Amino acid sequence: MRHAGRDLRSSRAGRRSNGELADRGVIVAELDDTMDSGQTSRTFYAALGASALAGRTSDEKTRWVLQDLEPLLQKEKRWLDVGCGYGRLAVPLASRGYQVTGIDISPNLIGAARAYAREQRASPAFDVGDMRELPYPSGSFGGIYCLWAAFNELTTRKDQRLAIRSMLRVLESGGSAFLDLATYREASAVRIDRRTRRVRMEVSGLTHQAYLHDRQTLVRLMEDCGVDDYSVRLKAFGGRQRLLLTFARSEGRVARRRPPVRPPPR
């Protein structure tokens, strides 16, 4: 993709372009485990820039993702693209007649998404915001999708629960969410701490972090959030092997806490 955020520059790199920053191998997003995951993502994408993010995929790969995603969407519903980035999916979907709102924690990527939408004469709405606290009234959307491992960027179980509960709240009754998560099996330059499930990656000379999910972590997350209508599958999506989580908001089941376990009466 050549369109997104052509002129975006790293917040820390002064007048250097992101490309130059990456070539110099400067690690600008130093991480520490106590850093808020939202702050980590914002810092990382501000340094990486929209063009470099777009350079990590291709038009062909985006077409494959759209081919697999579109059959899951209906035009009469309102869709929320959570962690929408530079509008890679929201813009073409809006051009095809879907009602899409994209939200992302990185202001520079939302700037690039708006520019991309203008260029394509498409009209999705874009907001800067956090998936842990979605700024929409309850029941605003018929469905949610959250792709390209945006959910993996939540590195604590608490953040993950907040995000799932927030998605449940903004879904209308019967609405569903679809998340595609990375397995990190093919990724290079990745270090995984098996105890904390923290994944550290070198991307264009920057350090980024994520959370390694598997079937068990997602099942537990669904149970913790009181969701009983869900599925977890390891499956090809958009041309690569992904962990796919789908869950639905069924009335009366939102953000239900698991009842405390009591010993059986004697």
Ligand X SMILES: C[S@@+](CC[C@H](N)C(=O)[O-])C[C@H]1O[C@@H](n2cnc3c(N)ncnc32)[C@H](O)[C@@H]1O
Looking at the Cβ atoms of 49 and 85, the one nearer to ligand X is: 85
Q: Would you count residue 13 as binding ligand X (CB under 6 A)?
A: no
Sheet holding 141-146, edge to edge: 125-128, 99-104, 78-82, 141-146, 171-181, 240-248, 230-237
- Name the minimum Å distance from CB 114 to ligand X: 14
Pick the binder of ligand X from 147, 164, 168, 221 (CB under 6 A). Answer: 147
The reply on whether position 165 binds ligand X by CB under 6 A is no
**Under rule CB under 6 A, residue 148 binds ligand X:** yes
- Among positions 87-146, residues that touch ligand X (CB under 6 A) are 88-89, 104-106, 109, 130-132
Which stretches does DSSP call E strand in 204-239?
206-211, 230-237
Whichever of 57 and 217 has its CB closer to ligand X, that residue is 57
Cα distances (angstroms) measured from residue 166 to each of 49, 100, 132, 141, 231: 27, 18, 6, 12, 19
Least CB distance from residue 38 to ligand X, whole Å? 4
Question: Taking CB under 6 A as the rule, does residue 55 contact ligand X?
Answer: no
CA distance linking residue 206 with residue 42, whole number of Å = 13
Q: Examine residue 68 and tell whether it contacts ligand X (CB under 6 A).
A: no
Token couple for 156? 């604590």
- Closer Cβ to ligand X, 38 or 250, answer by number: 38
Fill in the amino acid letter for 2: R
Question: What is d(CA 134, CA 165) in angstroms, rounded to the nearest whole number?
Answer: 10
